[in-house]
């Protein structure tokens, strides 16, 4: 069960104290950068009848209120698209709960509760949010290098400032060069962050937009950290046409009813958009050069472990 002494050692540790200081600079810098870019911060949604399906091993977290069934947010993807009715550029520090499989307990990368900096831009193309992601990342690195010199020294971390544009490789190219589990190998082989683009439709969720000129290929991307730190963010252009969304949902073998409130909105017309979500704990992990994700936030919950 809960080990109080172990938890106290962690809460009093120098590593956690310094990692959280770096994280605090990350939060400030992200807000400052995005405000300058004309973004509005929206508040997170914790429960909703709709959330990211993430059609894999992850269990659905559900709560019942007044006889209505709500799901605990796995990501705010649909709420971001809907928020664009109110404002054209939005971001949110969104808490996500994903009940990851127990095999991921020692991956160093997986928590069952984490926070994404999730943003969406009305009428944007992928290239625009790729540039935005690069500038955001560079802004954060500059801020951390400037404000957290002693903390970086403590971690023995020399943070390079990558030049924009970051390299890009397509999913198919990466797979051909490095084999099916290429992310880890590619990440280990790189010195700076890089993009994987054009994921095949079958391995992503239904909301990433299919390229009209290349059936089965999505206009989406992941940013990957170097040195084996792995995935930093996922994003892309979104499906926004009602019939396309219905088709993509059905292709995944999901009943349309599961998304009926979202589909009612899409029928009346969603904006075209693009965006991404970057995990804050993983970003902190990379900046600090830490291998254990549980050192990047208070009350970290590893798959399979009981925690506060």
Which residue's structure tokens are 């120098």? 14
Please choose which of Mg ion, ligand AMP, none residue 233 contacts, taking the beta carbon within 5 to 8 angstroms, the exact cut-off set by kind.
ligand AMP
Which is closer to ligand AMP, CB of 192 or CB of 269? 192
Please choose which of Mg ion, ligand AMP, none residue 89 contacts, taking the beta carbon within 5 to 8 angstroms, the exact cut-off set by kind.
none
Q: State phi, psi for 33 to the nearest 5 degrees.
A: -60, -50
d(CA 189, CA 169): 13
Q: What are the distances in angstroms from CA 53 to CA 87, 187, 204?
A: 25, 27, 11
Residues forming contacts to ligand AMP in the complex (CB under 6 A) are 75, 98, 100, 110-111, 114, 116, 231-234, 277-279, 281-282
User: Smallest distance, Å, CB 174 to Mg ion?
Assistant: 15
Q: Which of 96, 234, 284, 296 binds Mg ion (CB under 5 A)?
A: 234
Please choose which of ligand AMP, Mg ion, none residue 277 contacts, taking the beta carbon within 5 to 8 angstroms, the exact cut-off set by kind.
ligand AMP
Which is closer to ligand AMP, CB of 121 or CB of 232? 232
Q: Does 75 bind Mg ion (CB under 5 A)?
A: no
d(CA 238, CA 195): 18
d(CA 101, CA 107): 11
User: Smallest distance, Å, CB 272 to ligand AMP?
Assistant: 20
Q: State phi, psi for 145 to the nearest 5 degrees.
A: -65, -35
Please choose which of Mg ion, ligand AMP, none residue 114 contacts, taking the beta carbon within 5 to 8 angstroms, the exact cut-off set by kind.
ligand AMP
Residue pair 88/123 in contact (Cβ under 8 Å)? The answer is yes
User: Smallest distance, Å, CB 231 to Mg ion?
Assistant: 6
Nearest to 84 by CA among 214, 274, 246, 235: 274
User: Smallest distance, Å, CB 110 to ligand AMP?
Assistant: 4
d(CA 277, CA 121): 12
Report which residue's Cβ sits closest to ligand AMP. 279
Which is closer to ligand AMP, CB of 109 or CB of 122? 109
Taking 3-state DSSP, the helix, strand and coil percentages for the chain, each rounded to the nearest 5, stand at: 40, 20, 40
- The H-assigned helical ranges of 148-259 are 149-154, 171-178, 182-189, 242-251
Which is closer to ligand AMP, CB of 89 or CB of 110? 110
Please choose which of Mg ion, ligand AMP, none residue 75 contacts, taking the beta carbon within 5 to 8 angstroms, the exact cut-off set by kind.
ligand AMP
User: Smallest distance, Å, CB 3 to ligand AMP?
Assistant: 21
Sign of CA dihedral 246, 252, 256, 260: negative
Which is closer to ligand AMP, CB of 168 or CB of 243? 168
Which is closer to ligand AMP, CB of 104 or CB of 242? 104
Contacts with Mg ion by CB under 5 A lie at: 234
């Amino acid at each position: 069960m809960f080990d109080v002494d172990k938890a106290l050692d962690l809460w009093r540790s120098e590593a956690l104290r310094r990692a959280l200081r770096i994280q605090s600079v990350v939060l400030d810098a992200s807000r400052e950068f995005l405000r300058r870019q004309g973004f509005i911060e929206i508040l997170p949604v914790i429960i909703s009848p709709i959330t990211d399906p993430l059609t894999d091993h992850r269990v659905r977290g559900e709560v019942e209120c007044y006889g209505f069934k709500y799901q605990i947010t796995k990501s705010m993807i649909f709420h971001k698209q809907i928020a664009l009715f109110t404002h054209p550029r939005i971001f949110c520090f969104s808490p996500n709960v994903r009940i990851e499989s127990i095999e991921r307990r020692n991956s160093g990368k997986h928590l069952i509760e984490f926070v994404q900096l999730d943003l969406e831009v009305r009428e944007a193309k992928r290239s625009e949010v790729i540039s935005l992601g690069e500038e955001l990342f560079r802004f954060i690195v500059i801020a951390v290098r400037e404000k957290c010199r002693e903390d970086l020294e403590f971690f023995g971390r020399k943070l390079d400032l990558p030049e924009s544009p970051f390299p890009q490789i397509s999913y198919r190219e990466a797979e051909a060069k490095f084999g099916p589990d290429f992310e880890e190998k590619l990440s280990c082989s790189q010195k700076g962050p890089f993009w994987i683009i054009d994921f095949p439709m079958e391995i992503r969720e239904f909301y990433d937009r299919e390229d009209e000129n290349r059936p089965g290929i999505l206009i989406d991307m992941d940013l990957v950290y170097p040195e084996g730190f792995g995935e930093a963010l996922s994003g892309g252009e979104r499906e926004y046409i009602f019939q396309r969304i219905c088709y993509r949902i059905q292709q995944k073998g999901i009943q349309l009813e599961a998304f009926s409130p979202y589909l009612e909105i899409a029928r009346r017309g969603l904006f075209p958009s693009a965006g991404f979500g970057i995990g804050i704990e993983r970003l902190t992990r990379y900046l600090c050069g830490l291998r254990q994700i549980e050192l990047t936030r208070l009350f970290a919950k590893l798959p399979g472990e009981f925690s506060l």
